[in-house]
Each structure stands twice: as structure tokens, then as C-alpha cells.
Copies of this chain bind each other. A is one copy, B any other.
């Protein structure tokens, strides 16, 4: 599979975007308000940082409370999320999403439970 993005939980997406643009030459590729969060995609070559700044309760808000800011998940791109979920199910992996659901930037996404994948929260994404 292809690396698509690294999700980062933050309380200050625009400040972190400005720093990452300076340090990593990673300009903003896309910005939107989604699911109670400011979501900023910063361009790598290839792939993205996805900065997630919550404005209300939810998974990222709880993550910030429990862990502080930092890397939250890795997203891998596939054209066949349902097939990838079927493979994961067959391998005994616990799924967070049984089926693809809409994500930011018009993506279809589905998450695997990190307790099945070595503590790594993995998102399948169809971009």
C-alpha cells in the first residue's frame, strides 16, 4: 500500500502548519472544517501531514486530553478499502469501522483498532 498521510493531533493547527512549512517545506494543500475540527493537509513529497484541531468533544479531543499533542495515526491509501477490511477481518484484526465512511477532503476512510496492530492506529483511505 501507499503512504497517504500522518495524522497529528494539535490544539493549534495554523501555528503548527506555519512551523512545518518553514522546517519541512510542507505547504498547506487543503483546509476544511470537518466533524468539529479544523483539518489541514500539508504537502510532503509524496503524502501529507494531516493536522487535526478539535473545537468540540470527540476522539481527537480525548486524545489531546489523555496524551497531549502528537502523532495520532497513519493513513495508507488503497483503491479497495472493502477488500483491505476483509483481509484484516480474516487476519483476526479488530476493526473500528466495519465499512468505509466519509472522511475529510472527500475521502472514504476506515480505521483498524490499534490493539490489533501493535499499538499503531491505521486508517485505510481512498483519496
Q: Which residues of A contact B (CB under 8 A)?
A: 1-3, 6, 8-10, 12, 16, 19-20, 22-26, 44-47, 68-71, 73-74, 76, 84, 87-88, 91, 93, 112, 114, 117-122
How many copies of this chain are found per oligomer?
2
Interface SS, A side: mixed
- Bound Cα distance from A25 to B69, whole angstroms: 30
- Bound Cα distance from A112 to B46, whole angstroms: 21
7 of the cross-chain contacts (CB-CB < 8 Å) are A8-B119, A8-B120, A16-B118, A23-B122, A47-B47, A68-B119, A70-B114
Q: Which residues of B contact A74 (CB under 8 A)?
A: 6, 71
- Check if A6 sits within 8 Å of B6, measured CB to CB: yes
Q: Which chain B residue lies CB-closest to A90? A: B22
* Residue from B8, B69, B76, B119 within 8 A of A70 (CB atoms): B119
